[in-house]
Structure 1
Amino acid sequence: MNAVTVFTVDLGGYPAGMRAHPLVVERAAKAFRGEHGGVIADSFVTRAGGRTACVVTHQEGAEVAALCDDVLSACAETAKETGVFGEGEVQTVTLPLGEESAAEVLVFLTSGAEAGAWDQIFARLYADPFTSSGLVGDPLMRRGFEFVCDGGAVFCTPDETYALLAHLDAGGRVQEVRRRDGVLAAVAGQGADPALLLRVGSGLPDVVTALGVASASGLMPVSLCDMNPTCPKTACLGFSVRNQMLVGPADLYDDPAYERVRIHVRPTTGRRVA
């Protein structure tokens, strides 16, 4: 089965962790490229504020975690040499794609965001028909979704929508969302600066809806080059995956359509202005 995995790691940045060092990002990119055709099929490496972010495709069950440890250990040495060595905290998010040879995947990266940043976005995308029109018009989405939460709790919408919202209101966290037929729709990282991987297309939210919901969440939507953590921010990379190869990315928030959203976010708090 095919899969996409995102690793993000804090290896230090400048000044005071604001921006990952380009030599560290370059070291990671070269190391992963050297593994193409082996443990991984393809890769893309960038920065998300002070974090280095790595997107790889592979067969599900491949030893990508061990490969990541090796690559990031080498990158940590480069970080030490540049004098910006950080804590080295790694977050991993994997989205299985099944046996399908083609898929459309959005990779949301965050900078300056708190744990649970995607919980309300999950609820709006997969449980709110006033926000996500596919819940009304798409027969596959209309069947509902399963929200897999911390502690093993599972809520099936639309029947348990209120229970899901109560769980989130009490501080619960959503880990992944599945369509009722078992298709994994989205999975979120846990901890600070969590990444989000979600599929778009038939039977799932469309690209524009996903971008709009995420941009209205209190996270400032920005292009990759603006990911400095001066307030909670998100960037979105759009990929087509074809036979495990990454087509893209498209930097989807590098778009004047989101300018009004940006200017209505307070830089100091990330809260939207009424």
Structure 2
Amino acid sequence: MAKVTLSVIKADIGGFVGHSAVHPEVKEKARACLEKHPLLIDYYVAHVGDDLVLIMTHEHGRNKGEIHKLAWDTFVACTEVAKKLKLYGAGQDLLADAFSGNVKGLGPGVAEMEVEERESEPVVVLMADKTEPGAWNLPLYKIFADPFNTIGLIIDPKMHCGFAFEVRDLIEDKKIIFNAPEDLYDMLVFIGAPGRYAIKRVFHRGTGEIAAVSSTQRLNLMAGRYVGKDDPVCIVRCQNGYPSVGEVLEPFAFPHLVSGWMRGSHSGPLMPVSMDDARPTRFDGPPRVVALGFQLADGKLIGPNDFFSDPAFDNARRLALEIADYLRRLGPFEPHRLHLDEMEYTTMPQVMEKLRDRFIDLRLAKKARAAAGGEA
């Protein structure tokens, strides 16, 4: 069989109600657009919060215009349904009036990998709502570089060689490759700043094959204004030379802090939930992550297994809610509210401009007093 491409493309095309969920009619429309489409081998329509997620398999490779146009046309058709239902923010992730060959840069988030199916090809599709691409940095580090999380790095001969991380500078549009374990300290300098640096892809150093890929699109950088958080997706291959399913899921037992939450302007815990519970309501949150497991079988998507429906993640959810209680008491104060650099695309610049003439430059005032013979 030819290589199979797994494409996960997501967009917020209208929330039901507010920013909390995807309306069933929107998902139904997406399924109608993808059903028996000649370009696809298989598909699954998912959601996390108010984001519609298209999971598709095909034989056309990554970054193919035909597949991206199919996703774009599906989002446009679903937007029409959203407008009919007067859903909130209908079409907000579609930043262009027309498709231009590739959805990258037009709003939707994209994660794609092309693989030659192994005898058994398990994959986990991670989907997050109310957060940014850098939210995957800590989990991907733990999955592919931390032996306290992934014991296979030590005891599995097929993993002992380690993995290579492609890290993107989302501000200056650059990339760099770090090799684990020898480059770990250097890599952590960058991926510890997830607002700017994000892990895009992970490669097996023994075979050179893809191990994981994430979406790294930043909506505010594309639109030049705040239009919603990026709500990233990620694909991870599992087993037989790659981390086990359990090792892939284990980092999410700790609800680490991510940027996003209400109006994309707050820090909050990333709470692992089932797809049914991916309805962020409290302060439009807390941020959610869903993990769907599939077996690829000649390109067919066997599944999903909704992993975070497991009660083994109940403690993580309880801890996330305790963290949410603590942070909410800080209200508009940092570190609950994001630092000023991350507030660039909210109302902050407008408020600063309005008050610009009311700020007094104390250095200039001091010089003026000194020149007038007064006290410096």
Q: Tell whether the 8 Å contact from 1:19 to 1:51 is kept in structure 2 after alignment.
A: yes
Select the structure of larger CA radius of gyration. Answer: 2
Cα distance in 2 for residues equivalent to 1:126 and 1:167 = 16
Q: Tell whether the 8 Å contact from 1:102 to 1:243 is kept in structure 2 after alignment.
A: no
- Unmatched segments (≥5 aa) in structure 2: 94-106, 169-173, 219-229, 257-269, 328-376
Which residue does 1:4 correspond to in 2? 6
Indicate yes or no: 2:252 matched with 1:214.
yes
1:68-116 CA-partner distances (Å, limit 9, x unpaired): 1122111111111111124033111102112547411100111112330
Q: Tell whether the 8 Å contact from 2:126 to 2:234 is kept in structure 1 after alignment.
A: yes
* Partner SS state of residue 153, structure 1: strand
Cα distance in 2 for residues equivalent to 1:201 and 1:23 = 36
Which residue does 2:20 correspond to in 1? 18
Q: Give the 5 Å matches for 1:28-67.
A: 28-35=30-37, 38-61=38-61, 63-67=66-70
Cα distance in 1 for residues equivalent to 2:325 and 2:76 = 33
Q: Give the 5 Å matches for 1:231-242.
A: 231-242=286-297
Indicate yes or no: 2:215 matched with 1:189.
yes
Cα distance in 2 for residues equivalent to 1:8 and 1:165 = 28
Indicate yes or no: 2:146 matched with 1:128.
yes
Identical-residue share of aligned pairs (%)? 30
Which residue does 2:298 correspond to in 1? 243
Q: Tell whether the 8 Å contact from 1:2 to 1:100 is kept in structure 2 after alignment.
A: no
- Structure 2 counterpart of 1:201, from 215, 221, 239: 239
Cα distance in 2 for residues equivalent to 1:71 and 1:86 = 11
Cα distance in 2 for residues equivalent to 1:109 and 1:12 = 17
Bigger drift between 112-121 and 245-254 goes to 112-121
Cα distance in 2 for residues equivalent to 1:238 and 1:175 = 20
- Structure 2 counterpart of 1:158, from 155, 161, 181: 181
Report how many aligned residue pairs link the two structures: 270
1:174-231 CA-partner distances (Å, limit 9, x unpaired): 1010010211100111242111100001111111111111332422111001112320
* Partner SS state of residue 113, structure 2: strand
TM-score by length of 1: 0.93
Q: Which amino acid aligns with 1:133?
A: I
Cα distance in 1 for residues equivalent to 2:166 and 2:325 = 27
Q: Which amino acid aligns with 1:10?
A: D
Q: Which amino acid aligns with 1:27?
A: K
The structure in which a higher percent of residues are strand is 1
Bigger drift between 50-59 and 108-117 goes to 108-117
Q: Which amino acid aligns with 2:197?
A: G
Q: Tell whether the 8 Å contact from 2:48 to 2:288 is kept in structure 1 after alignment.
A: no
Shift in Å, 1:163: 0.9
Q: Which amino acid aligns with 1:152?
A: K
Which residue does 1:70 correspond to in 2? 73
Q: Tell whether the 8 Å contact from 1:227 to 1:233 is kept in structure 2 after alignment.
A: yes
Q: Tell whether the 8 Å contact from 1:60 to 1:96 is kept in structure 2 after alignment.
A: no
Change (3 A) 1:17 1:267: farther
Bigger drift between 190-199 and 214-223 goes to 214-223
* Partner SS state of residue 240, structure 2: coil
Which residue does 2:165 correspond to in 1? 147
Change (3 A) 1:220 1:104: same
Change (3 A) 1:178 1:236: same
Q: Which amino acid aligns with 1:29?
A: R
Cα distance in 2 for residues equivalent to 1:68 and 1:247 = 21
Which residue does 1:259 correspond to in 2? 314
Cα distance in 2 for residues equivalent to 1:214 and 1:29 = 29
Indicate yes or no: 2:229 matched with 1:174.
no
Q: CA RMSD in A?
A: 1.8
Shift in Å, 1:267: 6.7
Shift in Å, 1:7: 1.1
